Each structure stands twice: as C-alpha cells, then as structure tokens.
Structure 1
Amino acid sequence: MSDAQQPALDVAAPAPAKPARGGATGERPAQAAERPVARVAVDVSLSHLDRPFDYRVLPAQHEDAVPGARVRVRFAGKLRDGFILERLDASEHDGTLAPLHKIISAEPVLTPAVARLIRRVADHYAGCFADVLRLAVPPRHAATEAEPRRSAATEPVEGQTGAPQPDPIWATFPDGPGLLAALRDGRNPRAVWRPTPSTDPSGDWATGFAEAAAATVAGGRGAILIVPDRRDLDRLAAACAERLGERSFVQLTAELGPSARYRSFLAALRGDVPVVIGTRAAAFAPVRDLGLVGVWDDGDDLLSEQRAPYPHTRDVLALRAVTEPCAVLVASYGRSVEVQSWLESGWAHEVALERTSLRRLAPRVKVTADSDSRLERDPLARALRLPREAFEVIRTGLTQGPVLVQVPRAGYLLALICQTCREPVRCQFCGGPTRQGPGDQPASCTWCGRLQADWACPICGGRRLRAPVVGAERTAEELGRAFSQTPVRRSAGGSVLSEVGPDSAIVVTTPGAEPYASDGYAAALLLDTSILLLRPDLRAAEEALRRWFNATALVRPGGDGGTVLAVGESSGRALQALVRLDAAGFAARELAERGEAHFPPAVKLITAEGRREALDEFVALAQLPDGTELLGPVELPEQSRLADADEPVWRLTLRGPRAFGDRLARAAKEVAAIRSARKSEGGLRLRVDPQIID
C-alpha cells in the first residue's frame, strides 16, 4: 500500500516551514563564503513560534556549523539552544540576519531523517517540534562525546558468513520464513505477530525479535526494537546477545543516566552498531540504514509518553516506517484495537499460528463454574472468591511445579464495609475511604491516615467489618494457611521477583509483576477478574485480556499439563476470548463497537483540558472541518485535574472522521498558536487520541 493510502496514520506530508529571521543588527559583518545561512530549530515550546529560524554563519563557524549540530542563538533577547536543520545559500528574509552565537558541538546529533520524523510526530499530535525534539535527542554529555569511538561490531551475524542460520521460532509460523526472507532481501513488510501464549518455543517473542533483527542486519540494514519496561528489555538483550553478539547492539533507555544514554545514542548515530533496543526513549534512535522497527506488547500504557505532546511509541514507529521507509513488526500475546484497525485496513498483515496448532501449544484455559456439572459439584462457585475448583487447580499444579496466582491489586484489605448492612466504612474524621493492614491493627483512613479504632456503623450501629476487595498480601496469607507445607512467594509493588525456580511454590503477583519460571508454571490462577473489567475506562476489557494473556504465556503447554483457571463470570466476553485464545476476534468486535459509538481508533478524537474561559476561547477561535462534533465542556473530577490547577478544570472533546484527522489536529494546533501569540490566560492541555478515555 502506498504512503498516501494509509487510513491508520492520517498524517499529511509536512509542508515546508516558512523561515523567519533570528534577529537584526545594524551592520553586515563578514559571512561564511559557502552557504552562509543556517536554518535553526530553536528550543522554544510556543505554538506560534513552532517553525525554524534563519541565522548567519560566521566564517570562523563554517566548518563546525553542520546540519544536526547543537548551537546557541540569541532569540527574543535571550540565549537559547537549538539545532541546525540545514545550510542555505540565501534566506527568504530580506533583512540582516543575526549570527549564530556559538557552536556548542559539531557532532551532527539530529539527522535529517529524525528531524522529518519529529516534524510529523509534532503535527500528528498537535504539538511543538521542540517538545518532541527533547524526547528524541538526549542531553549532551561532553566527556562522553570526547571519548574514542566504539569499534564496530565484529561478531559474525547471519548472512555475513556462509548460509543463513535456521530460525526455529519463525519456522513454526506459516508466514514466518517469508517475513525473514523479505527482511534479508531489503524489503519492507509490515507484520503483526502473535506468539503462542505459553512457554513453548513458539511463544518466545524475545528470540523471535532477535532473529528478525539478525535477518535485517544480514540484509545490510539496521533495526530498532522497543519494549515496555526493564524486565522485558533484559530478556530481549539476552536474546540479542546470543543471536547477534554483544557488540552488535546497544540499549537505550531514559533510566540509563546521562553518560550511558548518550554513549549508546552516539554508537547508533555513528554507525558503530546496527541494532538499538530499548524502551520508548529509543523510538527516535538515529540508526543508519534503518530497515526494521519493532515494538513488543504495544497495548502496555508504559509505551505512552507522559510529556507533551503525549505520543505513543506504536504510532511513532508507524510514522517512522512511512517517513524513513522500513519494515514494521508489532507483536503481543493479546491485540490492541489500533493494531486490529491496521490489519483491517490492509496496512499490515498478520503472522500467527493456525487454530489447531495454537490450541495444541497453549495451556488449557477454563473459567470456574462454566458448566452445569461443575456448578452442581460446587453450588457456591460463582459466589466465592476462591472456590473449590481453584484449590484443586493449585493442589494439582503443585505436584508438577510452581503455581502462579494473579491478583489485580496489591495490599491487604483494600476496602471495608459493614458486616451487617454492607454500608461502606468511611473515616470518622474526614469521610475518606478506609483500609486495613495485616494482623490485628485497626482500620485506617487512606486520606488522612487516622486509625478507626472505635468505629461504629452510622446506619445499623454494627462494629464488625467485611472486606469486599482483597489485595495480593492478604491472598498470599490465606493461601499460606491453606497450603501450610508449601512456600508462598509474593511479587508486587516495590518487591518484584525476576525469576523463580522449578520447585513447587505458590507465587502471588499483581499484573505486570509476574516473575518468569525457569521451566514454566504448572498452573495459573486468575483471581478477581471482575475488578479489572469494571475499571471506568474504555479500554478496561482490552487491558484485562492483555494482562491475562501475559500471565497465560508463563504457563506450560496443555500437553505438558499446563492449566489456567480464571475465577469470574463465565459468560463475560473477555473471559470467553481468553478461553478460546481468540485475541483477534475480541479486538475485531471491540473495533466494530468503537466504530458504532464513534470512539478511537474508528474516529479522530482530541481532548482539550483547562479553565472554562480558555475552552470558550478555543471554541470561538477553532476553524473545524465540517462534520466535527463538539462534546462538552464538562467539569472534571478533582483527582483528574492538572497538577498545578487550583480552579476547576473542564474538558472539551472534538471528534471527527479519520479521513480528515490531520485537518482536525491542525485546527487544534492553530488555536493553540493564536492563544500563545495573544498570551491568553489559562493553559490548555491537548491530547490527540488519548490512551485513556474515562
């Protein structure tokens, strides 16, 4: 599909920026004889100044003023940092240009390809070039920049010596060998890969990513592979070290520290390594001859940037695949609705196992009380948090190895109600919700922290408490009593285990904190599934299914005795999709319903949050495309307000067809530019297709 036919991206090609003068002086000093004008992206996050500015290059600066170099310029009477985008023979401005104040570094850290990507991302998310630039280029570390260059990788990579090595992971999938062949040949396929959600080798996504990168490198190109967090990165790094060699890749994350991060960035920029792996900070890595961009578990909210303009890594990589033509690989055990829309539009193609193979290699998944016979055996199965069948699965699993127990929330007793009348227990002093820790300690308020030692129900006068919401800590305590001869380990919050051994043990975790088992878990128990499904979020069911599939992927195949039991309502659509291992069908139905309800990704949606007066001005100034819906403004709850907001915050929602989504984003940005130029009071927070819609 050509770039102009991409309904999933809806970003128009960026128009050439109109240059502007950087300043004026009284007389015209000597200029550099060759291309004396430098077009500079100044670090200014003001919408009405979101364009490059022209400056004069002095003769002494000629050699160092290369495109991509860091400079300091005088802008609006102040010295500001910037980057040279290009050198020109002349400026369209007729007046005298201000000179570059200083060349900070001649290292061309902003490549033309990355600069084009930054512009497209900023336009897509109605943001500023400078804001995206801060995400793309790490701060300079002078000592690291002065270090000798890292020697290029010397380990042999597939295709460099002899015949291609076998790819056991991809050989399992019908279209896998064809995908790797396309990468070796220098073509640009766009694939959505679903590994098997089990410990079978076909579910080893990290090795699959490493093999895809090796095929790309064998074809003479580079690769960028993105994962959500450090645990996934460690697993991917181990696979890449085994498949590519330790000197063929670098890790790039925001948590590395200034020196290590900048060293990895320079290694990719200078072409010393062909592969970059990392978290969302690596999406803009300046890899030479880029041939593949990949992202694992794109539904994880860690891949959504929390700073303006709030880009999502999945969309940044998709835009990069268009701006800098390369292959795309998106993989996860579940499936996001956005990726499903790519498949249905034809922009990407699926790589997955056939149904029969998937059922054979995945664990056996079932839901409690999903048949009349099971309900007859345990009439209270639908009412109990831990029914008899759950204990049977744990008991059977412990004879073969460790058992995983996933609980949605950490803590002990997270909500309290009156035992007699079921009235929620509120703080006697401030009216806040209460909770209780382990042991005999009294309940305490989650707002003011005061103990509720002499609490009495204001409705019935009762003093006995009941906990409808139980956390991982209390669950581990209960299972420890039930299986007193079995060790119980916890992995949650600030104490996350990385791995457990093959010995029998009960491992109680929260979603995302599940440790890997060396030989896979014999069984997994998914508790309190309704809590995940009842979140006040449009993506609640999608996110719940993603977390359940991630837990299922840690369990052995059904042929080896692997079993997953979910405790919940068996008729729920998300749980039924889990039982059928049907992530694709669930995503397709979700996408269809989003289309009927006019929610992303079926439509373009932009939210503007701020004071009511600012939103009224926004509506008055906006030149919106025909067919745009205006929803609101509505006042936000106190916990949803901006961090520095003392007054009530309101939200305005703009919604329109994706066919003119780029025009809608441009209209929102134009309003922001007008308000910025006017110096209007009250800031606005714009979000394009927000990840969380509550």
Structure 2
Amino acid sequence: MAGRSRGGRVGQDGGTVRSGWQDWRVSEHSGEQLSLVREAARRAKPRTWRGAPLAEGTPVARVLVDKGLLHLDQFFDYAVPAAMDADAQPGVRVRVRFGARVVKGRREGGTLHDGFIVERLAESDFAGPLAPLAQVLSTERVLTPRLLALCRLVADRYAGALADVVSLAVPPRMARAEREPSPEPAPPPPAPAPGTWARYGTGPGYLQALARGDTPRAVWLALPGPHWPAELARAIAATLASGRGALAVLPDGRAVARADAALTELLGEGRHVMLTADAGPEERYRRWLAVSRGAVRAVVGTRAAMFAPVADLGLVALWDDGDSSHAEPHAPYPHARDVLMLRAAEERTGFLLGGLTSTVEGAQLVDSGWALPLAAAREQVRAAAPLIRTVGDADQARDAAARAARLPSLAWQVTRDALARGPVLVQVPRRGYVPRLACGNCRAAARCAACSGPLELREQGGLPHCGWCGRPAADWHCPECGGFKLRAQVVGARRTAEELGRAFPKVPVRTSGRDTVLASVGAAPALVIATPGAEPVADGPGYAAALLLDGWALLNRPDLRAAEEALRRWAAAAALVRPAQEGGSVLVLAEPTLRPVQALVRWDPAGHAVRELAERAELRFPPVSRMASVTGPAAAVAELLALLRLPPGTDQLGPVPAPNGAERLLLRVPPGSGAALAAALKSAQIARATRGGGDPVAVRLDPTDIG
C-alpha cells in the first residue's frame, strides 16, 4: 500500500526513485546498501539544480501533488526558494513541476501541476537535488492538518487516492473571494427552548447535552409534519450555545432552503452559511472561506459540505441518509453518512442521523450501541400522522373504475372530497407521458427493433420512440403475436396529469418533476402531480390528501433496498399531508400484505428497518458485512483479481455480466475486515498500474446498488 514519500521511494528490487525533477531506475541493492543510501539522504542538504538560495531553517516543502493516481498516492519533497519562504506555509496551494528527468545535468520534460504543502521540513531524505516550488498560488491555508487527516481517513476507507478526496473537500480557488475580508465571528447565542422537541421523550435532554458541550449520538426518527427543519435548527443552535460549531448535511437544495429559513428565524442573519452548488462557484468559495477562517461556525449544505472545515466542531447532522444524493458519484465514492461518522469519532463531536424513516444503517448504529434512538411515543405518532389506506391488486381487479381509468373508485372519492378542503398530492413513480408500451393483444413489452430498448410515447397522438436510442418505431409489430396495436404498460406523470385534469376540469393541475421541481404550492385546492423526491411543500396546514400510485413500480425494482426505498418515498409524501385528526388521508395503491406497506399504515419505519437488518444479517449483506464491487472488462477484472491478497473469510460473488459488455465482481468480508479489504484492493490497483495498467477497472467500497 502506498505510503508517504520522503523525497522519493527506492524499490527493493530495482525500484524507482522519484522527486519533483527526476524519475530514474536504481540497480538492485541489498538491505544494508539501501540503509546506507537512506542515511546519506538524511544527512544531505537540499539542493536545487541552479543553486538558487533556499529558505533558512525549513528549506523543504512536502507537497501533495494533485495527480489523483493511486500509484502516486504519496507526498513529494520540493525545495523552498528563499523568496517564497514567507508564503509557502503548510496548507497553501502551490504549483510544482512533476515528472521531469535529469539528463547529463539538465532537466528535461515535466509538467506543471497544482498541489498543497502539507508540512515544512529542515531536511529531506531524498538523496538527489530537489526541484524548487514553481509558484505559491495563494497564501490562504485551505488544507488544514485536521482536514488533511479526515481526507486520509476517507481515502483509506474507500481504497482511493488522497488527492481525489482533497479535490472533493477543498473547492476550486476564486482569487477575488480570497481578497475579501470575512465577517467578525458572532458571540454564542443563548441555548434555545425545546420547542417541538418536547414531543420526543429524550428530545429536550439531547438539546441540553449539546448546550453543555457534551457529544451525544442519536438516530432521530422525526415525526411527520412540517416541524423537522425547526427541530434541526434548534439542535444546531444548542451546539452554538456551547461555543462550538455545527454542520448539517441535507440531500438537496430544497431541504437546505427549509433548514436555512428555520435557522434564520431562530438565530437571525449572519450566524450560519449555506453551502450548495446553487450559490455559484465564487459565492460558495466565499462562504467556505468564512467557515475555514472561523468567522462562521454553523453550516447547512448538500453533500460536498460534509468536508466543511468548521472550527471546534461540536455536532454533525445528516438528514435522510437513504437519499441517493448523499453518495458521491466521483472516486472514491464516499457516502456522507460514513464521512460524518468518521468526523464524529475523530473530532469527538455529537452526531444526529435524522429522517422520517430509518435505513438499515441507522438501525445498525442503534443495535450496536454506537448511537441511541431518539423517537416519539406512539400517541405522538398517531397525533401527527395522516390516515393511511390501501388498495391492493385484488381490489382494483374488482373495481370497474380502476379497470377503465387506472384509478380505483376510492381514489376518485378521496380526491373529490379532499379538493374541497385544500390541495391534493399525487405521487407517480415514473416521469414522462407513457414511458413503457406493450402489445395490445398479448401484452408483451414493446421493444425497439434496432437496439431492443423499451418503446415509449412522449406525447398524446405522437409516434412511439425508443427510450434508449431515440429511433421512431412507426412500423412496429409484435414479434410474439404479430399484432400492431400498442397499449400503455406504465403511465407517467404527464399522462396522469392529463387524465386528472380532464376528470376535474375546474381544478388547477401543477406538475413537479425532473424538468421543473416546485419548492412549494399554495393552500388553495389544486392537483399536484409529482415524481418521488420532487413533491413540493404545501402552504398552511399541508395537503388535504395524497395518492401514492403504482406502488408495484417502486417495490419491484431489482435492488436490495427496494422495500426500504419504497417506504422512504411514500413516507416523504405522506408526511406533507395534514394529520388524521385534521382530515388528512393518504391512499397507497399497493398490495396491503407487503411489509413496507404495513409499516406505512402503522407508521412504524423503525420496526421495518430492524426487520430488514435482521434479514441482512442472516444473508450476510451490508451493512452487517462490508462489500466491494469491481467492474470492468473481463480480462482487466481477472488481472486485478490475480493481484489481490484478500483477507481471510472473503466471499467472491461473480463475476456476472454488467452493462456495456463489462463484468462485475462482488467481494464480501465479515465484520472487522473492511479495512483489510480496502487496503488489499488499493495495493492490487497500485500493482496493476505500475505494470502498465490496461483497461480501467472501477472499484467501489460499500456500493449502494448491489442488485
């Protein structure tokens, strides 16, 4: 496994010595000769090729070069010219020449790369001359020792390169923002009152512990309704009252905006910042600098904010950890939940994992005792939750209205009655008009003749098109029965909005989905058609009712988390509806005997997560065990597998075919062997890269989709 480089590395079998200037082969040495070489290097004074005067005292800068390659996952030593001595401090951005060679006393080749100084040294153990720093890009110390340590922990956990993690943690530089002064830090606010935290048995005690400076850890099962942003804001305010900082990570900009509004109402302006991509690169960097400089101690943001360098951190909070937005799509693919858990352990902070439902990971934290449950009593749940009713497949088969118009009679009745009191939310699992077509005679799925992709209808009266390659299929015929007639197999959000608009012609219809996501809607009667995750918040007391259509589309996904995800999507929509005692009702079209449907009816997401965890433990699936996926061409996967030195007890699942002609291999290890698996994968990747590599192989620890 790659370690820190003291100005270069000497391979024991004729390895490579690397510095900023040079890269050449060394003949084989015995162990004694290697020791002599290293001892001479330690005694040597740093030299540069042109004899430029060097900084006094600590003339060596150890630099993390922004290469992002596993086999170069180490630090490199550079000489510090005297002219750069004051500016070249640990944590600043620099530019260095990397990969040059020295031929007959002259340097050749090499390219300029950005990097960060991680420390200054009096001497280097590299025997040859050191390349000087090319430029100090900024005197702002952005890579602090604490942030560097966190990035190293994340890189080791996910078998990734340190430079890749640092690029996720430190935003790109904006020079104008660095020249602007940050505001003066505000004094700690007073400890907040419990507010709606009083509905939870241990809620007030949790806030008091944060205000005292303690580090409580909790898995918080929030009650349905509009209060969770204010409750999260009070937890942050209690931490600030102790003189410490707080960080909250939320899945999207709409959730961040709700938390931001709650914090502003509770604490006023200037005590916190939002870190989201919507702010733009310069404004986001300006806010990040205010946090890094200690001017602001409270942060709410999306996934990238998990690395925010909050001074004297006292609380890390994560909302809705089951949302896929919390999983970083770039190498090494860290998850915000794991990063915040690392921070809670290493920086000794409080921890709050909140959501309307619980993931199996949250249930495991409670089961292991790492965190304590924070939930309300059943009478409080009944007072806050809407009435949940179900319509199963057998009920729809007997219902003439359902056969004719896809919606059962009960759904029409609930919608009609609720529209007299306020807006009605309709959750549709699929976007588009008719995203799946089938043969009208034999019901076989209609597929493209060119690529076998599913056929879809994009608008009423339009031609069917392939959902994969986009080709029109005007002359389609069924290969099974020869029929030419098409029917809708799955109905999308746009088609549903069209049908409901005709059924309720005097009621406005609004849609919220991928193209246009609404943050909120008014309290007046309206039909709001939304895809999962895009449901807007209704003003006032909330929606009068909600229809959760086509539950089978969420439950039948070929994924280990299908049931958990379906319950999470349904609960997120149902939580926007008024309580049952105020007339709020939810109708879910799904088989009522299924476990997630029963959990929704009883509003018992914690019990559902506990049962899911028990099944995962029996099958040895994550999070009980750790797992890694290896995806790439068959030959590349086989080559990496041959280089792996797996820990004892590793199970190999596959390889199996993956998209685009690749293969996918799953590696599973028992509890306690996750770090060894990550180290073995990283070592094998480094060995493969030094041999010349070949086709790339994607390695992902703790994959969210294992099928």
- TM-score normalised over the length of structure 2: 0.89
Q: Within 5 Å, which residues of 2 pair with 1:347-496? A: 347-368=370-391, 378=399, 385-427=406-448, 431-496=452-517
Secondary structure of the corresponding residue to residue 357 of structure 2:
coil
Is residue 130 of structure 1 aligned with residue 163 of structure 2?
yes
Determine which of 145, 152, 156 is the counterpart of 2:184.
152
- What is the alpha-carbon distance in structure 2 between the residues aligned to residue 417 and residue 375 of structure 1? 20
Choose from 221, 225, 237 the match for 1:194. Answer: 221
Deviation at 1:514, TM superposition (A): 0.7
Q: Name the structure 1 match of 2:279.
A: 256
In the alignment, the residues of structure 2 paired with residue 439 and residue 383 of structure 1 have an alpha-carbon distance, to the nearest angstrom, of 18
Say which SS state the counterpart of residue 213 (structure 1) adopts: helix
Check if 1:654 corresponds to 2:676: no
Distance 1:139 1:438 in 2: 42
Q: After superposition, what is the alpha-carbon deviation per residue over 1:6-41, rounded to whole angstroms, capped at 9, x for unaligned?
A: xxxxxxxx9983533434645765432223322211
Q: Deviations along 1:498-534, whole A, 9 cap, x unmatched? A: 2111111111111111111002001111000000011
1:334 alignment partner, SS class: coil
Superposed displacement of residue 658, structure 1: 2.3
The corresponding residue for 1:17 is: 4
Identify the residue that residue 177 of structure 1 maps to in structure 2.
Answer: 204
- Pairwise CA distance, 1:435: 1.8
Confirm whether residue 586 of structure 1 aligns to residue 623 of structure 2.
no
Offset at residue 430 of structure 1 (A): 5.4
Contact 1:152/1:247, CA 8 A, preserved across alignment:
no
Alignment CA distance shift 1:507-1:429 (3 Å):
same
Q: Structure 2: how far apart are the matches of 1:63 and 1:509?
A: 57
| Residue 663 of structure 1: how far off its partner (Å) | 0.6
| Distance verdict in 2 for CA 1:686–1:547, change over 3 Å | same
Against the structure 1 CA distance between its residues 38 and 569, is the aligned structure 2 distance closer, same or farther, given a 3 Å change threshold?
same
The question of 1:272 aligning with 2:295 is answered: yes
- Between the two structures, name the one with larger relative contact order (CA 8 Å, sep ≥ 6): 1
Go from structure 1 to structure 2 and tell me whether the alpha carbon gap of 1:96 and 1:428 turns closer, same or farther (over 3 Å shift).
Answer: closer
Aligned residue identity for 1:440 = G
Report the Cα distance in structure 2 between the residues aligned to 1:428 and 1:221, rounded to whole angstroms: 63
What corresponds to 2:654 in structure 1?
632
| Partner residue, 1:7 | none
Compute the displacement of 1:118 (Å): 0.2
Partner of 2:130: 97
- Identity, % of aligned pairs? 50
Question: What's 2:624 paired with?
Answer: 602
Residue 168 (str. 1) matches residue 195 (str. 2): yes
1:420 partner letter = N
1:385 touches 1:527 (CA, 8 Å); kept in 2? no
- In the TM superposition, what are the counterparts of 1:60-75 in structure 2 within 5 Å? 60-75=83-98
Could you tell me how far apart the structure 2 residues matched to 1:144 and 1:189 are? 36
Contact 1:157 1:244 survives alignment (8 Å): no
**How far apart in 2 are the matches of 1:452 and 1:614?**
38
**In structure 1, how many angstroms separate the alpha carbons of the residues matched to 2:629 and 2:583?**
48
SS of equivalent residue, structure 1 residue 84: strand
Deviations 1:557-590 (A, max 9, x none): 1111111110111111111111111111111111
- Aligned mates of 1:664, 1:511 — CA distance in 2: 35
Shift of 1:465: 2.5
- The reply to whether residue 48 of structure 1 matches residue 71 of structure 2 is yes
CA spacing shift, 1:651–1:427, aligned 2, 3 Å: closer
- Give the partner amino acid of 1:597: L
Cα shift at 1:494: 0.8
RMSD of Structure 2 on Structure 1 (CA) = 2.3
Flag the 1:452–1:31 CA change in 2: closer, same or farther, 3 A: closer
Paired residue for 2:11? none
Q: Deviations over 1:65-102 (max 9, x none)?
A: 21111112222122221111122233343444332222
1:309 and 2:332 matched: yes
Q: Which moved more, 1:50-59 or 1:208-217?
A: 50-59
Q: Tell whether the 8 Å contact from 2:221 to 2:606 is kept in structure 1 after alignment.
A: no
Kept after mapping to 1: 8 A contact 2:396/2:408 = no
Separation in 2 of the partners of 1:534 and 1:353? 31
Post-superposition Cα deviations, 1:418-458, rounded to whole Å, max 9, x if no partner, equal 22222323345655422223332343333454444454444
**Residues 581-634 of structure 1: CA distance to partner in whole angstroms, max 9, x if unpaired?**
111111111111112222211111111112222222212211111111122222
Q: Summarize the Cα distance change of 1:88–1:450 in structure 2 as closer, same or farther, 3 Å threshold.
A: closer
Q: Is the 8 A contact 1:618 1:671 kept in 2?
A: yes
Work out whether residues 418 and 545 of structure 2, in 8 Å CA contact, stay in contact via their aligned partners in 1: yes
Superposed CA offset, 1:211-235 (max 9, x none): 1111111111111111111111111
* 1:496-575 equivalent positions in 2, closer than 5 A: 496-519=517-540, 520-575=542-597
Which has the higher mean CA deviation after the structures are superposed, 626-635 or 84-93?
A: 84-93
Write the deviation string for residues 353-399 of structure 1: whole angstroms up to 9, x where unpaired.
012211121111121259x9x89995887998411111121122112
In 1, the alpha carbon distance for the partners of 2:378 and 2:74 equals 52
Aligned to 1:8: none
Q: CA 1:445–1:98 in structure 2 vs 1: closer, same or farther (change >3 Å)?
A: closer
How many Å separate the matches in 2 of 1:634 and 1:456?
32
Equivalent in the alignment of 1:118: 151
Aligned residues: 660
Q: Paired residue for 1:668? A: 681
1:323 alignment partner in structure 2: 346
Kindly provide the CA deviation profile for residues 189-219 of structure 1, in whole angstroms up to 9, marking residues without a partner as x.
Answer: 11111111234xxxx2211111111111111
